[in-house]
Amino acid sequence: MPRIDNLTSLFMKFPGIGTRQSKRFVYFLLAQNPHFVEQLAYEISILQKSITRCGECFRFYTNNGKLSENNVCDICVNDTDNTTILVVEKDTDFESVKRSGNYTGKYFILGGTIPVLTPDPTTKIRINELIARIKKGAPEGLQEIILALSSNPESDFTREYIIKTITPTTKELGIIITSLGRGLSTGTELEYSDRDTIHHALKNRR
Amino acid sequence: MPRIDNLTSLFMKFPGIGTRQSKRFVYFLLAQNPHFVEQLAYEISILQKSITRCGECFRFYTNNGKLSENNVCDICVNDTDNTTILVVEKDTDFESVKRSGNYTGKYFILGGTIPVLTPDPTTKIRINELIARIKKGAPEGLQEIILALSSNPESDFTREYIIKTITPTTKELGIIITSLGRGLSTGTELEYSDRDTIHHALKNRR
Amino acid sequence: MPRIDNLTSLFMKFPGIGTRQSKRFVYFLLAQNPHFVEQLAYEISILQKSITRCGECFRFYTNNGKLSENNVCDICVNDTDNTTILVVEKDTDFESVKRSGNYTGKYFILGGTIPVLTPDPTTKIRINELIARIKKGAPEGLQEIILALSSNPESDFTREYIIKTITPTTKELGIIITSLGRGLSTGTELEYSDRDTIHHALKNRR
Amino acid sequence: MPRIDNLTSLFMKFPGIGTRQSKRFVYFLLAQNPHFVEQLAYEISILQKSITRCGECFRFYTNNGKLSENNVCDICVNDTDNTTILVVEKDTDFESVKRSGNYTGKYFILGGTIPVLTPDPTTKIRINELIARIKKGAPEGLQEIILALSSNPESDFTREYIIKTITPTTKELGIIITSLGRGLSTGTELEYSDRDTIHHALKNRR
């Protein structure tokens, strides 16, 4: 049935959704009350209009209709703590750190990671934007760049690339680069930990 | 962010979707090109308007704007094979049988199964509608009701209930009731088969 | 530690057991009371001595020390039902059928299946032994060979090969060949069934 | 078949092994060459005789027939680094740390963890033996107890209990207590990290 097939094929584009589940989504919607379906269609239709990407940290934020001067988010506008910029891969990482409530400084969204052997890494992450952000931050009191990337080969490779690329700038501006501490994360079994994790866990013992 | 939270909570109502994945859906949509998002919103908004539930077999079908006389689907309207009605639990079961291309008769969607110990089963499945459908079918040449339910305790219980409930009607009208054959289904390992499956597989050997 | 490593490497040969679990087995045994460990070592040491492969159906059976005349198992010796031979891939399949309590005839263990594209299939299963068994069975009242193989590509291919290979013999002896019935096995969801299963389930409906 | 059933029921006592797999183990052994089976039975039978639990760190070690004076393992006998004792839950944790090659001091195996709400924790872990070990270690240069427990509620509870219980002794002897560093372990996705892990990862950044 055309209508059902159209919507099914659209849902199949969603991350992690296959034929079976997208079809289930469609029949689920068919069985819902019209109000729910209208609301869903409405929220989807206005999503991109009401959410903007911040011109400074590149995270998505609600613009409440009006755009702040030169389109900057509430966190970047706020002037309380300019000493650190925490660099994450994507918006959901930003949300995790924000939720943890342990950090009061600025953020920067890379927009991805660099697969090993990528010919032109600059196209994969916002490296030039990051350098520009650092230069802009220096006179405002920026002292430290915190690389808050995940811990896996691709993220590690990306971190190395960033450090290599921004060091000339940070050196010149007297800004230090740090990375998240390594060790046992919640739920880790010592028995199954790799030498690297054990090495860091021993070094960071307290 | 209100907009993102609203949409996240709507996606969380989808079958099998938790907080994490609905949030991923939202960020996925934020990153898509506006055309895709508009198309999705559009297809969702018109879904229920363009799909109707057939008044005779109760499956969803495309009405192409205009409703057929007393809202009956193409299969029910078609007059070639009125000898059998294949009774399934839900629309996706109907689709599997349809796709298999082995069946040319009529269908009937129960709309669910009956959990064991349900006080009033008639509210769980379209049992009265089924009886009405059988009475309507008799003069048109209906000879057999095929109960095509899944093979698990709840479906088995539902089948027993249907047989018990429709038998007076079918007996009187000289209509027989059959159930799908049991045996090894594709992918079944004999080693892990229960006594029941082996019993049927031996009985149905050919 | 040599001893621990030796035993670990032996357990790693067990089906489906990796380094981690075999190591866990060893530490598990270290922590058991000596009696349990002795008993385990004893049962393992006498296993092959007390279990023989039947010379007629090729299943493993307990010889209770003494071997029955020309090494035949209790089922093959027993003379009540010689009309059918049920052919299975392996001993655990035999056990499933036996446990199901639906079958009173004879058995035959193929000893495996034939991977598609095997140059010399006769080395993979006891096909010659099966033909010999059929010839021996004929004068004793054998009327039917039941191919009780699993339902997957390799088993299907094996079944085709067996039918092709034994047909000349069975034709000549007036013995029929049957296969287990196909259809919904316990636990099968109609929604996820392939066309083949639905096809058989419809054909075998009753 | 008694023999097969006996061995099956013994394998079923193995950690993580159910009926089906233990039966597969038995048929696997039936099919192996006798030499392999004898070797397995032999290694199992001598395991406990050739492995002893060290009287000082309580780990299992090979005694090579003769027991070292008052039954102490090679690591505990060795006199190079007496400054630290690394306390782990079980032997496999010891092996992980040993393998990582980052630690040269002494070890102590607790022999388990303490389920929350245990009436008498002293029966669950070697807490008294640990205190005795600390007192013995002090004159030999012991300066630090490293609690190398896993990171989960039960292990955390156990660590708290140990700290509370040994502190009087360590205080008096001027020995410090440390725990493994927390942070991102290899393979951790920032997005899925809990507030606690992010909190430590930020604090331990370098």
Q: Which ipTM was obtained for this model?
A: 0.84
Residue A68 scores a pLDDT above 80: no
Strand order in the sheet with B84-88: B106-109, B84-88, B144-147, B176-179
Residue C192 has a pLDDT of 87
CA distance B89 to B111: 6
Say if CB D86 and CB D146 are below 8 A apart: yes
Residue A119 has a pLDDT of 85
% of chain A surpassing 90 pLDDT: 77
Residues of A in Cβ contact (< 8 Å) with B73: none
Give the tokens for residue A62: 């609600």
- The model's pLDDT over D81-90, given as tens digits with 9 standing for 90+, comes to 999 999 999 9
Contact criterion met (CB < 8 Å) for A93 and D191: yes
CA distance D145 to B7: 51
Band of residue A20 on the pLDDT scale cut at 50, 70, 90:
confident
Mean pLDDT over A56-85 rounds to: 85
CA distance A139 to A141: 5
Q: Residues near B115 by Cβ (< 8 Å), separated by ≥ 6?
A: B124, B154
Give the tokens for residue C87: 């052919």
Mean pLDDT over C72-81 rounds to: 92
Residue B66 scores a pLDDT above 90: no
Buried b (16+ CB within 10 A) or exposed e, D8-35: bebbeebeebeeebbbbbbbebbebeee
Contact criterion met (CB < 8 Å) for B47 and A7: yes
Please name the residue of chain B whose CA is at the shortest distance from the CA of residue C178: B206
Query: Is the Cα dihedral B105, B111, B116, B122 positive or negative?
Result: negative
Residues of C with a Cβ under 8 Å from any D Cβ are 1-4, 6-7, 10, 13-16, 21, 23-30, 34, 36-48, 50-51, 60-62, 90-92, 95
Residues of A in Cβ contact (< 8 Å) with B61: 1
DSSP element (H, E) containing C105: none
CATH 1.10.8.420 in chain A: give the residue spans.
2-53
Residues of B in Cβ contact (< 8 Å) with A1: 51, 60-62
Architecture of domain D79-203: 3-Layer(aba) Sandwich (3.40)
Mean pLDDT over D162-167 rounds to: 97
DSSP-derived secondary structure letter, B156: H
Among A2-6, A109-113, B80-84, name the one with the lowest average pLDDT. A2-6
Give the residue, D41 or A120, on which the prediction is more confident. D41
DSSP element (H, E) containing C146: strand C144-147
Give the residue, A67 or B156, on which the prediction is more confident. B156
In 3D space, the residue among C29, C119, A157, A44 whose CA is nearest the CA of residue D46 turns out to be C29
Residues of B in Cβ contact (< 8 Å) with C202: 102-103, 146, 148, 180-181
- The model's pLDDT over C149-187, given as tens digits with 9 standing for 90+, comes to 999 999 999 999 999 999 999 999 999 999 999 999 998
Give the tokens for residue B75: 């299969």
CA distance C25 to C7: 9
Subunits with at least 3 CB pairs below 8 A relative to chain B?
A, C
Count Cβ atoms within 10 A of the Cβ of residue D129 and give its class: 0-12 exposed, 13-18 middle, 19 or more buried: middle
Say if CB D106 and CB D136 are below 8 A apart: no
**C171 to B80, C108, C110, C143: CA distances (angstroms):** 43, 19, 21, 11
Q: Residues near C53 by Cβ (< 8 Å), separated by ≥ 6?
A: C59, C60, C61
Please name the residue of chain B whose CA is at the shortest distance from the CA of residue C199: B102
CA-based radius of gyration for chain A: 21
Query: Is the Cα dihedral C185, C186, C188, C190 positive or negative?
Result: positive
**pTM for this model (two decimals):** 0.74
Residue C66 scores a pLDDT above 70: no
**C53 to B191, C49, C109, D30: CA distances (angstroms):** 19, 11, 10, 9
Mean pLDDT over B48-65 rounds to: 88
Residue C20 scores a pLDDT above 60: yes
DSSP three-state, residue D61: strand
Residue D68 scores a pLDDT above 60: no
Mean pLDDT over A166-183 rounds to: 96
Mean pLDDT over A141-146 rounds to: 97
Average pLDDT, chain D: 92
Amino acid sitting at position C128: N
Instruction: Give the distance from residue D92's alpha carbon to the nearest chain C alpha carbon, in angstroms.
Output: 8
Mean pLDDT over B155-171 rounds to: 97
Instruction: Give the distance from residue D163's alpha carbon to the nearest chain A alpha carbon, in angstroms.
Output: 13
Residue D3 has a pLDDT of 85
Residue B87 has a pLDDT of 98
Give the residue, B116 or A158, on which the prediction is more confident. A158
CA distance B178 to B158: 14
Instruction: Give the distance from residue D95's alpha carbon to the nearest chain C alpha carbon, in angstroms.
Output: 11
Contact criterion met (CB < 8 Å) for A29 and B43: no
Band of residue B68 on the pLDDT scale cut at 50, 70, 90:
low
Maximum separation of any 2 CA atoms in chain A, in Å: 64
Among A118-122, C7-11, C154-158, C202-206, name the one with the lowest average pLDDT. A118-122
Q: Residues near A193 by Cβ (< 8 Å), separated by ≥ 6?
A: A184, A201, D96, D100, D185, D186
Residue D178 has a pLDDT of 97
Instruction: Give the distance from residue A104's alpha carbon to the nearest chain B alpha carbon, in angstroms.
Output: 18
Residue D1 scores a pLDDT above 90: no
CA distance A183 to A203: 9
Terminal-to-terminal C-alpha distance of chain D: 64
Band of residue D206 on the pLDDT scale cut at 50, 70, 90:
confident
Residue C120 has a pLDDT of 86
Q: In this complex, which of D102, D149, D199 lies closest to A198 when CB atoms are compared? A: D102
Residue B193 scores a pLDDT above 80: yes
CATH 3.40.1360.10 in chain A: give the residue spans.
79-203
Maximum separation of any 2 CA atoms in chain B, in Å: 64
Mean pLDDT over D127-147 rounds to: 97
Residue C18 scores a pLDDT above 90: yes
Instruction: Give the distance from residue A89's alpha carbon to the nearest chain D alpha carbon, in angstroms.
Output: 9
Amino acid sitting at position C203: K
Residue B20 has a pLDDT of 86
The pairing of beta strand B106-109 with beta strand D144-147? unpaired
Residue C44 scores a pLDDT above 90: yes
Say if CB C59 and CB C73 are below 8 A apart: yes
Give the residue, B52 or A125, on which the prediction is more confident. A125
Q: What phi, psi does C159 have (nearest 5°)?
A: -60, -45
DSSP-derived secondary structure letter, C185: P
Amino acid sitting at position D173: L
Residue C67 scores a pLDDT above 60: no
CATH topology of domain B2-53: Helicase, Ruva Protein; domain 3 (1.10.8)
Residues of A in Cβ contact (< 8 Å) with D204: 180-183, 204
Contact criterion met (CB < 8 Å) for A196 and D183: no
Instruction: Give the distance from residue D140's alpha carbon to the nearest chain C alpha carbon, in angstroms.
Output: 27
CA D57 from centroid of its chain's CA atoms: 10
Contact criterion met (CB < 8 Å) for C194 and B186: yes
User: Per this entry, what is the length of chain D?
Assistant: 206
Give the tokens for residue A199: 């090495």
Residue C64 has a pLDDT of 67
DSSP three-state, residue C60: strand
